[in-house]
C-alpha cells in the first residue's frame, strides 16, 4: 500500500463522525453491536435521521476499536474511485507492509475482481490487529461492480476485519446467504428509534428538566422515536414548557414534521442567517475560507456576522446538526438529512440575487485551492458545463504532473462529450488518458480530430506541441523508421513549456533520445542525457526520473549490462525512497533483465518479484516480460513448481488485460518454457500453429518475443528444411535488430544463428558467428543466451577454444561453461573412475567388451536434445535416480564429466552406426 494518501482523495471523507458530549449514550445498542462483532458483517439500515452513523461511532469510541471509516457519496459510486478510498482508509490505521492492492487501485486498467479481492484478503489476513471497516451512506452506491466486490470480500471474510455497512435501504448484496450462514448482524429502524424512556432522558440532558409523561408519550407517538425530529424539536424550543405548544401543530409524515420544525427554527433567525444556513447547505463540506469567499455578496455591511468563522462558531454553539470532519476542525458538513431539508428550502426561496456570480465564486475558490475535483464537480452539478470545461483546461497541466491519468479521466466524465470534442485542450487530455492504457487504436480518431482543429499550417503553440508528443508516441510503436518519431518529439520539446507541462515534456525528452539510439545516434543520445542530468541538483523530479531511465535503457539496448545496472540501481533506490511505484517498475525491470542475462539468479528473482507485486501499476508489456523473466529465473534455479506457478500468474495477468496480443505472448512464452523443460511435443504443437509477422520494433522486450521463440523451437525440434528457413529468418532478424541498434536482442539472435549454422552443416559459419558474438558478450558478462540454447553451443565453444586461444575471452567462456554445468547439475566422476580409464583418450568410444546399452543410447540421445534429468525420466518412464545412475555409468565408460562432452559422444555414435 502507498505510504501517503493521494491528492485526489478528499481526506475528510475518511474521518469518523465525532461523538459530542450532549449525546445520549445508548448502552443496549452498543452491547448488541459488541456481542455480534465476531460476525463478519453488521448492517445498519434505517431512513434518514435515525442516528445510524452516530451509534456506530459511539460503539467504536466506547470500545476503543481500531477503525477505518469511509463516508460514501455519489462521487465514490465508481469502482476505481471506491478502491482508492478503501486503500486510503486502510492506510490511516495500518502502515503498509505490502503494496500489491494499492498499486492495483492506481492502475489505469483495473485487474479482475477476483484478483483484487484475493490480493486484498491476503493482505488483510497478514495484519496483526483486528479492526472495523465502516462504509457509511452505502445507499449512494449503485455500481454493480462495487456490490460484487463486497460480496466477494464477505464470501471468505478475514477473521481480523469486521465490516459495517450503514445505509438508508437494504443494499443489493447476498444478504439471505449471509443470514443463512450466520455471518450478519442487523440493526434496523425499530432498534434505533428512541423509546419513551430515552425521550425523557434526552430532554432531561438538554434542559436539565423532566418532561411530563403526557408530553413524552405524545412525542413518542408523533415521532415514533425518530431521532432527528426529536433533536429538531429540542432546537426549536427553549424549555420543556414550550414543547406542549409545539406538539399542538405536530403531525403528518416524517418530512412534514421535519419541515414544520425547520420552519420554526429558521423563524427565530434573521434573514441573513437563514440565507447563510440555506446557502451553506449547497456544499458537501465547507470551511471558514470558503464562506469568506462568498459572504461579502450575502451579508449586509451592518450585520453582526462579519466572516465565516463567526458563522461556524454560531453553528457549533447551537449544535445545529453541523459535524466537524477533521481533528483540526477546518472542514464541516451538515447532517445529511438536515442538509436535504435546507436544500429543499433553497428551491422555495430566492436567497441569492446573482446566482451565476455565486457559483463562479465557489468554483473559483475551489480551483484556487487546487481542489480541482470539487471545482469541476460543483460546476457540473449546477449544469455550468462550460465553466467546468474552463477549469479543467486551466488545470490540466497541473493534473498531468500528478501523473494520474485515471483521475483525469474521472474529471472528464463530468463534462458532456460534445463539449469535450469542441475543445482542443480537452481532446488532448482525453488522448492522454487513452495512451495511458496503451490503446493506440483508440488514440487515432482523437489525434485526427485534433489535427483538424489545429489547422494547416498549424499554429505553433503548446497545444500543437502536445499533439506532436502524442503523435510521436503512437508512431514510435507502429513504425520501425524512427525518423518521423524524432521529428515529432523535437517539435514537442520545442513548443512545450518546461514547468507547466513537466510530465509530458519529460516523456518527450526520454522518447527522443531512445529514438536517436535506434537511428544510430546512440552516442549523441547518451551525451544529451548526461548533459541534461548534470544540470540537476538535487537529483530529483519528473525529468530527472525519465532521463535516468532513458540512460539505463539505452545502455541495456546497446548490450552494456554493467552500465545499465548501475544507472537503474540509482533510479531504483530513489523511487523506493520517494514511493514512486510506477517508475520503480521500470527501474526494477531493467535490473531484473540485466541480472538474468548475467545469470545472477538471486538478483533477477528479487527485482522481477518486485515488478510482479506491482504488475497492475506497471506498463503492461513490461509486466508481461518481467513475469516471464521470473518464470525463467525459477527454471534456471531448478524451482520447477515455482516456474509453473509463475506461468499461471502470467496467464491470470494476460487474461485480466483483455488484450488479445497478451494471450499470443503467453502462448509463445509457454512454448519457450516447454522447450526448456523438455516438453518437446507441446512446444512443437505451438510452433505448428504459430503465425505472426516479424515486428523488429517490438523486440525491445526480452523474454516474450514470439518470433524469436518460434526460431528457438524450430532449431531444436524442426526438420532440416525448417531449420534452413529458420536460419534465413534469423538472418533477417539480425539485419533488423542491427538497423535499430538492438544489440541486446542481436546477441540472442546471433547465438541462435550459430546453432542454426551448426545444425545445417555449416560449421565454419557457426564458429565464425560464435567468435564474433563472444567478443561482444565477454565485455559485459552475458551468460544466459548461451546457457539457454543448450549443449550444442557449449560444445561449439569448446571447439572454438581448440581453433583459437581466446585469450581475452577465456574467463568469459569458462564462466559460461561453469554456469551451464551448475544449472544442469552435472554428475562429477569419482577419482577411481578416472584411474580405471587410465590410458584412454577422453571421448573414445567404449571397448566392445563394454558397449553402450540401448537404454544408455536413448539417454545420450535425449541429453543431446537438451533434456534435463527430470525430463528424461518422464520421457522414458523411469525414476530420476535411475537416470543419474545411467549417466554415471556412461561417464565412466567415456571418461567424461559433463553433458557437453556427451553431445560429442552422441555424434560419434551416430557416425559409427551409419558406418
Whether 255 has a pLDDT exceeding 60, the answer reads no
Determine the Cα–Cα distance for residues 450 and 446; give it in Å rounded to an integer. Answer: 6
Q: Give the residues across from 846 on adjacent strands.
A: none
Lookup: cell for 472: 510521436
Q: What is the mean pLDDT of residues 601-616?
A: 94
Determine the Cα–Cα distance for residues 782 and 596; give it in Å rounded to an integer. Answer: 9
Q: What is the mean pLDDT of residues 624-646?
A: 94
Phi, psi of 45 (to 5 degrees): -130, 125
Q: Give the residues across from 132 on adjacent strands.
A: 67, 162
Determine the Cα–Cα distance for residues 646 and 641; give it in Å rounded to an integer. Answer: 9
Determine the Cα–Cα distance for residues 506 and 548; give it in Å rounded to an integer. Answer: 11
* pLDDT at 238 (0 to 100): 62
Q: Give the residues across from 546 on adjacent strands.
A: none
Neighbours of 25 (CB within 10 A): 12
Whether 343 has a pLDDT exceeding 80, the answer reads yes
Burial of 19 per CB tally in 10 Å (0-12, 13-18, 19+): middle
Burial of 418 per CB tally in 10 Å (0-12, 13-18, 19+): exposed
Given a contact cutoff of 8 angstroms between Cβ atoms, the answer to whether 350 and 282 are in contact is no
Q: What is the mean pLDDT of residues 556-565?
A: 95
Whether 833 has a pLDDT exceeding 50, the answer reads no
Report residue 828 CA to chain centroid gap. Answer: 48
Kindly tell me the sign of the dihedral angle through the C-alpha atoms of 390, 394, 399, 405: positive
Q: 298-312 burial by CB neighbour count: b if 16+ within 10 A, else e? A: bbeeeeebeebeebb
For the chain, percent of residues with pLDDT exceeding 90: 45
Pairing of strands 332-334, 131-136: unpaired
Cα–Cα nearest to 104, from 91, 95, 117: 117
Lookup: cell for 180: 443463512
Q: What is the mean pLDDT of residues 804-826?
A: 83
30-39, 530-539, 752-761: segment of lowest average pLDDT: 530-539
Given a contact cutoff of 8 angstroms between Cβ atoms, the answer to whether 277 and 314 are in contact is no
Q: What is the mean pLDDT of residues 711-734?
A: 92
| pLDDT class of 241 with cuts at 50, 70, 90 | low
Instruction: Map residue 444 onto helix, strand or coil.
Output: helix
Cα–Cα nearest to 329, from 342, 317, 312, 345: 312
Long-range CB contacts (within 8 A, 24+) of 618-621: 618/582, 618/585, 618/586, 618/589, 619/438, 619/585, 619/586, 620/109, 620/438, 620/657, 620/659, 620/662, 621/438, 621/701, 621/704
Whether 75 has a pLDDT exceeding 70, the answer reads yes
* pLDDT at 831 (0 to 100): 31
58-67, 160-169, 731-740, 868-877: segment of lowest average pLDDT: 868-877
Given a contact cutoff of 8 angstroms between Cβ atoms, the answer to whether 313 and 251 are in contact is no
**CA 863, 866, 869, 872: dihedral to nearest 10 degrees?**
-70
* pLDDT at 905 (0 to 100): 73
Q: What is the mean pLDDT of residues 865-871?
A: 82
| pLDDT class of 695 with cuts at 50, 70, 90 | low
Q: Give the residues across from 165 on adjacent strands.
A: 43, 135
Question: Which DSSP string do the residues of 823-834 spell out, in sequence order?
Answer: HHTPPPPPHHHH
* pLDDT at 827 (0 to 100): 37
Report residue 34 CA to chain centroid gap. Answer: 37
Instruction: Map residue 795 onto helix, strand or coil.
Output: helix
* pLDDT at 623 (0 to 100): 92
Q: What is the mean pLDDT of residues 643-648?
A: 95
Q: What is the mean pLDDT of residues 741-753?
A: 93
In tens, the pLDDT along 803-813 reads 877 778 889 99
Cα–Cα nearest to 703, from 593, 564, 613: 593
* pLDDT at 24 (0 to 100): 78
| pLDDT class of 348 with cuts at 50, 70, 90 | confident
Question: Which DSSP string do the residues of 103-153 spell out, in sequence order?
Answer: HHHT-SS---HHHHHHHHHHHHHH-SS-EEEEEE-GGG---HHHHHHHHHH
How does DSSP classify residue 281? T
Cα–Cα nearest to 199, from 177, 169, 231, 239: 231
Determine the Cα–Cα distance for residues 61 and 55; give it in Å rounded to an integer. Answer: 10
For the chain, percent of residues with pLDDT exceeding 70: 88
Determine the Cα–Cα distance for residues 730 and 592; give it in Å rounded to an integer. Answer: 26
* pLDDT at 243 (0 to 100): 61
Whether 303 has a pLDDT exceeding 70, the answer reads no
In tens, the pLDDT along 444-473 reads 999 999 999 998 888 889 999 999 999 999
Pairing of strands 184-188, 41-45: parallel
Cα–Cα nearest to 722, from 692, 747, 689, 756: 756
Whether 860 has a pLDDT exceeding 90, the answer reads no
More confident residue, 321 or 486: 486
Lookup: cell for 819: 554456469
What's the mean pLDDT when you consider all of the chain?
A: 85
* pLDDT at 847 (0 to 100): 43
| pLDDT class of 58 with cuts at 50, 70, 90 | very high
In tens, the pLDDT along 208-227 reads 767 777 877 877 777 777 77
* pLDDT at 837 (0 to 100): 36
CA distances from residue 702 to 439, 627, 733, 743 in whole angstroms, order as listed: 22, 11, 14, 12
More confident residue, 266 or 385: 385
Determine the Cα–Cα distance for residues 404 and 416; give it in Å rounded to an integer. Answer: 21
Determine the Cα–Cα distance for residues 480 and 739; give it in Å rounded to an integer. Answer: 10
Q: What is the mean pLDDT of residues 667-690?
A: 91
CA contacts within 13 A on the Cβ side of 878: 15
Q: Which of 277-281, 708-712, 839-843 has the highest mean pLDDT?
A: 708-712
**CA 358, 363, 365, 366: dihedral to nearest 10 degrees?**
150
Query: Which alpha helices (H) appear in 598-638, and where do they start and end?
Result: 601-613, 620-636
* pLDDT at 778 (0 to 100): 92
Whether 699 has a pLDDT exceeding 70, the answer reads no
602-616, 684-698, 826-840: segment of lowest average pLDDT: 826-840
Q: What is the mean pLDDT of residues 541-559?
A: 93
Omega within 30 of 0 (cis) for the link into 368: no
Helix 542-557 to helix 743-759 angle (10° resolution) is 20
Whether 649 has a pLDDT exceeding 50, the answer reads yes
Given a contact cutoff of 8 angstroms between Cβ atoms, the answer to whether 14 and 89 are in contact is yes
Determine the Cα–Cα distance for residues 547 and 569; give it in Å rounded to an integer. Answer: 14
* pLDDT at 341 (0 to 100): 83
Determine the Cα–Cα distance for residues 218 and 189; give it in Å rounded to an integer. Answer: 19
* pLDDT at 508 (0 to 100): 92
What angle is formed at CA 191 by the lines to CA 187 and CA 197, rounded to 5 degrees? 155
* pLDDT at 828 (0 to 100): 36
CA contacts within 13 A on the Cβ side of 47: 13
| pLDDT class of 631 with cuts at 50, 70, 90 | very high
Determine the Cα–Cα distance for residues 164 and 169; give it in Å rounded to an integer. Answer: 14
How does DSSP classify residue 170? -
Determine the Cα–Cα distance for residues 152 and 159; give it in Å rounded to an integer. Answer: 15
Omega within 30 of 0 (cis) for the link into 457: yes
Given a contact cutoff of 8 angstroms between Cβ atoms, the answer to whether 363 and 355 are in contact is no
| pLDDT class of 246 with cuts at 50, 70, 90 | low
CA contacts within 13 A on the Cβ side of 173: 27
* pLDDT at 227 (0 to 100): 75
Determine the Cα–Cα distance for residues 903 and 577; give it in Å rounded to an integer. Answer: 50
Q: What is the mean pLDDT of residues 673-694?
A: 86
Instruction: Map residue 809 onto helix, strand or coil.
Output: coil
102-116, 351-365, 841-855: segment of lowest average pLDDT: 841-855
Residue with cell 487513452: 434
Amino acid at each position: 500500500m502507498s505510504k501517503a494518501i493521494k491528492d485526489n482523495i478528499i481526506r475528510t471523507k475518511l474521518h469518523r463522525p465525532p461523538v459530542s458530549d450532549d449525546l445520549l449514550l445508548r448502552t443496549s445498542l452498543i452491547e448488541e453491536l459488541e456481542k455480534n462483532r465476531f460476525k463478519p458483517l453488521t448492517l445498519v439500515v434505517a431512513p434518514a435521521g435515525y442516528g445510524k452513523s452516530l451509534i456506530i461511532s459511539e460503539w467504536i469510541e466506547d470500545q476503543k476499536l481500531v477503525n477505518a471509516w469511509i463516508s460514501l457519496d455519489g462521487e465514490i459510486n465508481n469502482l476505481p474511485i471506491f478502491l482508492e478510498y478503501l486503500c486510503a482508509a486502510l492506510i490511516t490505521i495500518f502502515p503498509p507492509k505490502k503494496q500489491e492492492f494499492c498499486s492495483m487501485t492506481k492502475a489505469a486498467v483495473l485487474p479482475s475482481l477476483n484478483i483484487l479481492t484475493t490480493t486484498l484478503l491476503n493482505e488483510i489476513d497478514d495484519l496483526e490487529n483486528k479492526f472495523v471497516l465502516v462504509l457509511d451512506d452505502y445507499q449512494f452506491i449503485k455500481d454493480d461492480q462495487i456490490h460484487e466486490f463486497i460480496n466477494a470480500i464477505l464470501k471468505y471474510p478475514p477473521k481480523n476485519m469486521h465490516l459495517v455497512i450503514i445505509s438508508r435501504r437494504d443494499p443489493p448484496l447476498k444478504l439471505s446467504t449471509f443470514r443463512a450462514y450466520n455471518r450478519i448482524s442487523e440493526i434496523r429502524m425499530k432498534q434505533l428509534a428512541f423509546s419513551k424512556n430515552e425521550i425523557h432522558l434526552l430532554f432531561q440532558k438538554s434542559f436539565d428538566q423532566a418532561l411530563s409523561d403526557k408530553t413524552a408519550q405524545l412525542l413518542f407517538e408523533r415521532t415514533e422515536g425518530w431521532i432527528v425530529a426529536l433533536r429538531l424539536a429540542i432546537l426549536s424550543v427553549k424549555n420543556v414548557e414550550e414543547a406542549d405548544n409545539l406538539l399542538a401543530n405536530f403531525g403528518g409524515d416524517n418530512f412534514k414534521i421535519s419541515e414544520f420544525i425547520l420552519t420554526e427554527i429558521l423563524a427565530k433567525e434573521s434573514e441573513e442567517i437563514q440565507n447563510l444556513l440555506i446557502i451553506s447547505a449547497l456544499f458537501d463540506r465547507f470551511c471558514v475560507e470558503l464562506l469568506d469567499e462568498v459572504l461579502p455578496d450575502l451579508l449586509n455591511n451592518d450585520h453582526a456576522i462579519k466572516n465565516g468563522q463567526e458563522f461556524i462558531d454560531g453553528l457549533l454553539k447551537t449544535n445545529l446538526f453541523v459535524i466537524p470532519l477533521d481533528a483540526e476542525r477546518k472542514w464541516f458538513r451538515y447532517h445529511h438529512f438536515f442538509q436535504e431539508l435546507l436544500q429543499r428550502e433553497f428551491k422555495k426561496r430566492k436567497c441569492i440575487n446573482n446566482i451565476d456570480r455565486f457559483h463562479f465564486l465557489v468554483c473559483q475558490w475551489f480551483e484556487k485551492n487546487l481542489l480541482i475535483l470539487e471545482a469541476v464537480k460543483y460546476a457540473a452539478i449546477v449544469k455550468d458545463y462550460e465553466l467546468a470545461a474552463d477549469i479543467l483546461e486551466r488545470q490540466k497541466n497541473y493534473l498531468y504532473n500528478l501523473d494520474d491519468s485515471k483521475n483525469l479521466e474521472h474529471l472528464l466524465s463530468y463534462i458532456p462529450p460534445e463539449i469535450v470534442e469542441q475543445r482542443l485542450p480537452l481532446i488532448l487530455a482525453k488522448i492522454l488518458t487513452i495512451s495511458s492504457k496503451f490503446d493506440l487504436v483508440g488514440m487515432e480518431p482523437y489525434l485526427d480530430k485534433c489535427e483538424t482543429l489545429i489547422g494547416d499550417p498549424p499554429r505553433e503553440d503548446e497545444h500543437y506541441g502536445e499533439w506532436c508528443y502524442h503523435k510521436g508516441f503512437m508512431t514510435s510503436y507502429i513504425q520501425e523508421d524512427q525518423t518521423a518519431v524524432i521529428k515529432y518529439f523535437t517539435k514537442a520539446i520545442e513548443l512545450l513549456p518546461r514547468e507547466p507541462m513537466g510530465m509530458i515534456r519529460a516523456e518527450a525528452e526520454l522518447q527522443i533520445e531512445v529514438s536517436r539510439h535506434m537511428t544510430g545516434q546512440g552516442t549523441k543520445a547518451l551525451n544529451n542525457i548526461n548533459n541534461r542530468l548534470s544540470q540537476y541538483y538535487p537529483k530529483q523530479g519528473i525529468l530527472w526520473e525519465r532521463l535516468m531511465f532513458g540512460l539505463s535503457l539505452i545502455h541495456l539496448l546497446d548490450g552494456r549490462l554493467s552500465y545499465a545496472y548501475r544507472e537503474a540501481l540509482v533510479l531504483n533506490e530513489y523511487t523506493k525512497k520517494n514511493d514512486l511505484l510506477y517508475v520503480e517498475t521500470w527501474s526494477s525491470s531493467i535490473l531484473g533483465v540485466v541480472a538474468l542475462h548475467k545469470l545472477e539468479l538471486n538478483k533477477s528473482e528479487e527485482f522481477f518479484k518486485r515488478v510482479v507485486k506491482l504488475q497492475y501499476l506497471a506498463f503492461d508489456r513490461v509486466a508481461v516480460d518481467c513475469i516471464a523473466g521470473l518464470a525463467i529465473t525459477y527454471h534456471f534455479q531448478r524451482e520447477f513448481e515455482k516456474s509453473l506457478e509463475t506461468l499461471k500468474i502470467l496467464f491470470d495477468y494476460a487474461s485480466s488485460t483483455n488484450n488479445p496480443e497478451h494471450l499470443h505472448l503467453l502462448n509463445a512464452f509457454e512454448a519457450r518454457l516447454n522447450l526448456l523443460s523438455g516438453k518437446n511435443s507441446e512446444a512443437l504443437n505451438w510452433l505448428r500453429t504459430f503465425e505472426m509477422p516479424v515486428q523488429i520494433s517490438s523486440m525491445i522486450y526480452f523474454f516474450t518475443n514470439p518470433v524469436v521463440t518460434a526460431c528457438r523451437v524450430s532449431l531444436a525440434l524442426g526438420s532440416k528444411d525448417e531449420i534452413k528457413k529458420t536460419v534465413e529468418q534469423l538472418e533477417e532478424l539480425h539485419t533488423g535488430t542491427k538497423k535499430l541498434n538492438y544489440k541486446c536482442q542481436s546477441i540472442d539472435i546471433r547465438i541462435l544463428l550459430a546453432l542454426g549454422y551448426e545444425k545445417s552443416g555449416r560449421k565454419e559459419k557457426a564458429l565464425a558467428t560464435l567468435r564474433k558474438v563472444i567478443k561482444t558478450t565477454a565485455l559485459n558478462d552475458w551468460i544466459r543466451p548461451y546457457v539457454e540454447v543448450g549443449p550444442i553451443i557449449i560444445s561449439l565453444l569448446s571447439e572454438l577454444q581448440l581453433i583459437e586461444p581466446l585469450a581475452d575471452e577465456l574467463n568469459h567462456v569458462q564462466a559460461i561453461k561453469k554456469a551451464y554445468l551448475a544449472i544442469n547439475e552435472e554428475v562429477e566422476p569419482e577419482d577411481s573412475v578416472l584411474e580405471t580409464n587410465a590410458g584412454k583418450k577422453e571421448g573414445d568410444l567404449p571397448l566392445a567388451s563394454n558397449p553402450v546399452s540401448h537404454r544408455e543410447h536413448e539417454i545420450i540421445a535425449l541429453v543431446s536434445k537438451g533434456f534435463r534429468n527430470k525430463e528424461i525420466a518422464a520421457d522414458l518412464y523411469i525414476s530420476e535416480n535411475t537416470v543419474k545412475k545411467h549417466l554415471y555409468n556412461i561417464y565412466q565408460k567415456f571418461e567424461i564429466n559433463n553433458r557437453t562432452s556427451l553431445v560429442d559422444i552422441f555424434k560419434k555414435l551416430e557416425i559409427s552406426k551409419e558406418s
